[in-house]
Amino acid sequence: MKRSSRLGITYAGPMGLWLTIFFLTPLFIIILYSVLKKGLYGGVEWTFSSAAYRQLVNPAFAKVLFRTLTVSVTATAITMALALPCGYAMARSSHQSLFLGLVIVPFWTNSLIRIYAWIAILSSRGFANELLKQLHIIEESLSLIYNQGAVITVLVYMYIPFAILPLFTTIDSFDFQLLEAARDLGASRFTSITRVLLPNIRSGIITSGVFTFIPIFGAYTVPLLVGGKDSYMIGNIIVDQVTKTRNWPLASAISLIITLVSTVGVMWMLMAGAQEKRERAQSLRKAGTR
């Protein structure tokens, strides 16, 4: 008893220090800055002000917030729709490590370089347009870049590994005989997936959704580099507020919105995970007393 409580402190100590330095302190600074008066050349003046929050209530900002939400939800939905079959195929494959490797390989390259690669693919004289022309599918270049479609495409590409990995892990521990049982009882291939597989990998779906949605919601390089004038997302506004308009309190207030959305997502994920753990613990207890 004594020993374990002392051990607890030993383990919790560094963790607490880590959290304080890298998470709580910055968060505190952001909250603090958001309620201070903006400095003339950036930074803040040490006077209380709710100006930042009043500036948030503004149709232009609401428009960007709404756009950010739409883009994030769409990109996350597409990512998940692609990641699910991928994760499933990987879990059922006999070459799991090969596929895991392939999913991780993109991380070896800097993300900016990968975005520039997409510019090379999508631009008006880029790879995609030239290929389509060579195949005589189109005559004139399509405008594939600097629009919402390009932003979503590249976001999906950037964050799909974050969706695939948790899905793969959950599906890998799923008992595939349940799918046979469902088929046996009259379910089609599709129904067996929707009625049996999906409900049983719920926590994996939530985790991968949250892991994808949060970074997409705060994205700023992708809309900046492949988006058009109307592709601005919250992340871009924050950067502008910090670097151009030099309104640090407003940047802080907007950041807090992202933090809030992320927190809600993570809480949801943790709650789903905790419920599943409770159910599993219950079953283990039962099995033990049998």
Partner 1 sequence: MKNVSRSYGTFKALDDVSIEIRKGEFFSLLGPSGCGKTTLLRSIAGFDTPDEGVIELDGRNIIPYPPEKRLVNTVFQSYALFPHLNVFENIAFPLRLKKEKESSVRDKVAQYLKLVQLSGHEHKKPAMLSGGQKQRVAIARALINEPSVLLLDEPLSALDAKLRQSLLVELDQIHDKIGITFIYVTHDQSEALSVSDRIAVMNEGKVLQTGTPYEIYESPATDFVARFIGETNLFPATVVSCVPFEQTHMSTLQVDALGSVIRVTDDDYLEAGTHVSFTVRPEKLKITSHPPLTVSKDINLFSGIVDEPIYSGFQSKYYVALACGTIIKVIQQHATYMDEGPAINWKDSVFVSWSAEDGYIVEVIDR
Which residue ranges make up the site for partner 1 (CB under 8 A)?
175, 177-178, 180-189, 191, 195-196, 199-200, 279-280, 282-283, 286-287, 290
Beta carbons within 10 angstroms of residue 230's beta carbon: 12
Minimum distance of partner 1 from residue 176's CB (angstroms): 10
* Cβ nearer to partner 1, comparing 125 with 286: 286
* Cβ nearer to partner 1, comparing 25 with 188: 188
**Cα–Cα distance, 188 to 179 (Å, whole number):** 10
Contact between 236 and 230 under an 8 Å Cβ cutoff? The reply is no
**Cα–Cα distance, 82 to 189 (Å, whole number):** 18
Amino acid code (one letter) for 274:
A
Q: What is the DSSP letter of 187?
A: -
Minimum distance of partner 1 from residue 38's CB (angstroms): 52
**Cα–Cα distance, 13 to 196 (Å, whole number):** 43
Helix (H) or strand (E) holding 36: strand 36-38
* Cβ nearer to partner 1, comparing 230 with 279: 279
Minimum distance of partner 1 from residue 271's CB (angstroms): 17
Contact between 223 and 118 under an 8 Å Cβ cutoff? The reply is no
Q: Which tokens in the block code for residue 15?
A: 């963790």
* Cβ nearer to partner 1, comparing 130 with 279: 279
Minimum distance of partner 1 from residue 198's CB (angstroms): 10
* Cβ nearer to partner 1, comparing 244 with 290: 290
**Cα–Cα distance, 191 to 288 (Å, whole number):** 34
Minimum distance of partner 1 from residue 287's CB (angstroms): 8
